[in-house]
Amino acid sequence: MITKSNLYRKEKVYGYLFILPPILGLLIFTLFPFVYSLYGSFTDWDGLGQMNFIGLDNFKDLFSDELFYKSMYNTLFLMLGIPIGLVLALLLALGLNRKIPGTTTFRVIYYIPVISSLAAVSIMWNWAYNGDYGLVNQFLEIFGIKGPNWLMDKDTVKPALILMTVWKGLGYTMLLYLAALQSVSRSYYEAAELDGASGFQMFRNITWPMVKPVTFFLVVTNIIGGSQIFTEMNIMTPTGGPEYSSASIVFYIWDKAFKNLQMGYASAMAMILGIFIFIVTLIQFKMNEKSSFDGD
Amino acid sequence: MIKKKGFAITMVVLLLMVAALAGCSGGSSSSDGSKELTFMFRGGTDEQKAYKEVIKKFEEEHPGVKVKMVVTAADQYATKLRAAITGNNLPDIFYFAPGDVKAYVNSGVLKNLTPYIEKNKDIKLDNIWKYGIDLYRYDGKMAGQGDIYGMPKDLGPFALGYNKTMFEKAGVPLPDKDKPYTWDEFIKVSQELTKDTNGDGKPDQYGTGFNVQWALQAFVWSNGADWLDESKTKVTIDDPKFAEALQYFADMQNKYKITPGIEQSQTLDTYQRWMKGEMAFFPVGPWDMSTFEKLPFEYDLLPFPAGSTGKSATWIGSLGIGVSSKTKYPDEAVELVNYLTTSKEGMKQLVDAKVQIPNLLDMADEWSKDTKTKPNNKQEFIDIVNDYGRSLPGNYTYNAEWYDIFFTDIQPVLDGKITAADYVKQEQPKMQKLLDKAVEQEKKSQK
């Protein structure tokens, strides 16, 4: 009996040791900053000196802060790229799932933006969008269209950013869809074919439900990622764009915290953003539960 | 029992790690026992190279001291520094903006350099630009007086340059370096030099192309207006003189067409156009001298065109070099700051690298008289520092949010969609509100 308990004890210690690093990481790099920031959101901390507790003042100020609403709206607007990206990627994946020559090359081409550095990609698109010599406008000129100065105009800066983020994320989304498509058993399609189902019917009743878990995963991660979009605008429109029209919420948080000595206020915004992401994700999980595919 | 013990171990490890993280700040001894200082700075490639050389020399002259350099991209510098302060992980020596002196002193980030400077007989404060040193003085209430919390890395007088070759080719008389153009004259000359040289119907040589954020000041100030009043607590952009200057600035593009149009107005463009020799006038900072050395044309400096005051105006930038209040080796750290800012040897190397004007008055005098190197009229840089250069408005306040928003919202004015008069009226209350907040924050930080 004694040996057994010793063994058990030893194993238990090793077990804890093995899970210690990630738990420590979580505590130090996630939980601690989170609690710190939560406390900070109730103070007037400037990021340098002492913190004075001011209760809910930061949150009260937020509700009358025009730029907070603006950057929140911008962030949501930029998320229009998510459905566009999903549809495009699924179509691409369907195309590349066929047994035709050259698909590997195309897969690589679509995946290159994913592995490229976001900063480098942003600088490249910055040139492409230049109103004067940019690639985009030169292309439009072929059709006799005079393109705008994309990043300097408050009406075009957001669509321009959406186009870029869709392009950047396409390869990743496509790859996941491709994997999902390839895991769908051929026998479903064969059975449907025997029943005389059309291509569209097969897509609607077999493909779409079968890739649903992937769609769900992508929607959730894209919305979380989309809420935190920052690098693109920081490089392409370093002042937040004309009239702050391309500033995302994280950009505004960064602006307040690191440029304007209002760490407490920025923390309050970060809390609101966190709550927002939490609620949206919760809703998605609930919706997914309701309509989940039972054939799985 | 086991459970409790495990928990205790976890807590101890955690505490150790936190302690280790907190202990990262400041200087440390390197493995061979010498004193190691970290120096965080930023700058263009030529500037970085120059600083590396100077620091190598410093290490040679100060055995036992090692300097670890941390270089960041210019636009990330402020963020990195703030993050280092917040994380209690500050380098021993670092650049900081003069506008941050108050905040950093009030929160105990910067070391007071005065006692060290007084102790050091090699430093002659009266041989350094007074303007430059005053930028880093603060007595706890007013900036510009009291103890010294940093030394100016340099002063960056923002002068106006012109393409001499272009003037000569077009047969336009060269500008007088002592008498600034009036606004009307400036437009006239610029229009003469705005040309379609390849006959495609679009001009490809322009009078100028200013970036509003860095060039509007020259026009506003020379017209007798400003962003702030004397007390630095009131936003004064609703002054008609201000609107007049802003309108003039916007008209350069929309009415007089002497600058690239809306589509071409991105900053990158105008800088590159100037470098390619397609622009008659363009602002030149001392940090550009090494780059402009290789320009395919001759250039020189002249004063900015003068508005209704009849006097030219422009700003002087500066970065301070400060020492962390938590450094382990204050003597060595201050020594390095002095080497970089006030020593003859250090200064000579930096000036020779053409990345800045001299900090030392006697050296500056000699330097400006040397007409063999470009630009010929270096005296203009010195005049700006001595006579008429000013600090950027955002430097006077606890944060520059109120000032930044002015430029964030300005695009419609530049595009000619709204008038300057309407803009200043609509923008003043917005800016005032943010300024009030900054003033309030400053008061809080003082106690």
Q: What does B268-310 look like in DSSP terms, one character per residue?
A: HHHHHHHHTT-BSEEEE-GGGHHHHTT-SS-EEEEPPPB-TTS
Query: Does B437 lie in the same domain as B307?
Result: yes
Average pLDDT over residues B222-235: 96
B279, B307: one domain: yes
Over pLDDT 90: what percentage of chain A?
64
Q: Which domain holds residue B360?
A: 34-153+317-373
Flag if B104 and A132 touch (Cβ within 8 Å). no
The tens digit of pLDDT for each residue in B100-116 reads 999 999 989 999 999 99
- Asked if B173 and B280 sit in the same domain, the reply is yes
CB contact under 8 A, B411 and A154: yes
Do B243 and B95 have their domain in common? no
Same domain, B299 and B435: yes
User: How many residues are given for chain B?
Assistant: 447
B22 assigned to some structural domain: no
| Choice between B235 and B44, residue whose per-residue pLDDT is larger | B235
**What's the gap in Å between the CA of B97 and the closest CA on chain A?**
12
Long-range contacts of B145-148 (CB under 8 A, 24+ apart): B147/B112, B147/B113, B147/B114, B148/B112, B148/B113, B148/B114, B148/B117
Claim to verify: residue B172 and residue B278 sit in the same structural domain: yes
Domains identified in chain B, total number = 2
Considering only the beta carbons, identify the residue of B86, B263, B398 that sits closest to A131. B263
Q: Is residue B275 part of a domain?
A: yes
HSE at residue A139, side-chain half, CA atoms within 13 A, is 6
* pLDDT mean over B185-207: 89
pLDDT for B3:
45
Of the ranges A200-204, B262-266, B430-434, which one carries the lowest mean pLDDT score? B262-266
The pLDDT-based confidence of A145 (bands split at 50, 70, 90) is confident
Among B10-19, B186-195, B281-290, B347-356, whose mean pLDDT is lowest? B10-19
Tell me if B1 is assigned to some domain: no
**What residues in B contact A10, CB-CB < 8 Å?**
none
> The dihedral of CA A212, A214, A215, A216: what is its sign?
positive
Contacting residues of A for B10, CB less than 8 Å apart = 16, 20
Relative to beta strand B147-148, strand B137-138 is: antiparallel
Does the residue B17 lie in any domain?
Answer: no
Whether residue B357 is contained in a domain is answered as yes
List alpha helices for A47-102, DSSP H. 57-62, 66-78, 81-96
- Stretch B367-396: mean pLDDT, rounded? 92
CATH number at residue B196: 3.40.190.10
Tell me whether residues B408 and A240 touch, CB distance under 8 A.
Answer: yes
Residue B28 has pLDDT above 60, yes or no: no
For A60, A257, B443, the CA distances from B436, given in Å and listed in that order, are: 17, 18, 11
Q: Supply the pLDDT for residue B24.
A: 42
* B12-21, B192-201, B232-241, B277-286: range with lowest mean pLDDT: B12-21
Closest CB to B78 among A44, A242, A259: A259
Angle at B432 between CA B428 and CA B438, to 5 degrees: 150
Whether residue B162 is found in the same domain as residue B149: no
Q: Determine, for residues A131 and B441 on separate chains, whether the beta-carbon distance falls below 8 Å.
A: no
pLDDT tens by residue, A68-114:
999 999 999 999 999 999 999 999 999 988 888 888 898 899 999 99
Q: Any chain B CB within 8 A of the CB of A259? A: yes
Q: Do B263 and B162 share a domain, yes or no?
A: yes
Mean pLDDT of B74-83: 86
| pLDDT on residue A265 | 95
How far apart CA B268 and CA A70 sit, in angstroms, is 27
Residues B163, B276 contacting (CB under 8 angstroms): no
Question: Nearest 5°: CA angle at B238, between B237 and B240?
Answer: 105
Closest-CA distance, A255 to chain B, in angstroms, reads 9
Which chain A residue shows the shortest CA-CA distance from B80? Answer: A258
Between CA B418 and CA B350 the distance in angstroms is 45
Q: pTM for the whole thing? A: 0.84
Specify the DSSP class assigned to residue B127. G
Give the whole-angstrom CA distance, residue A243 versus residue A154: 7
Q: Does one domain contain both B78 and B174?
A: no
Q: Is the per-residue pLDDT at A146 higher than 70?
A: yes
The contact set of B with A (CB < 8 A) is 2, 6, 10, 13-14, 17-18, 21, 75, 78-79, 82-83, 85-86, 103-104, 106-109, 260, 262-266, 268-269, 398-401, 404, 407-409, 411-412, 441, 444-445
Return d(Cα A271, Cα B287) in angstroms, integer.
42
The residues, ordered by sequence, that sit 6+ positions from B413 with a Cβ below 8 Å of its Cβ are B246, B250, B419, B420, B423
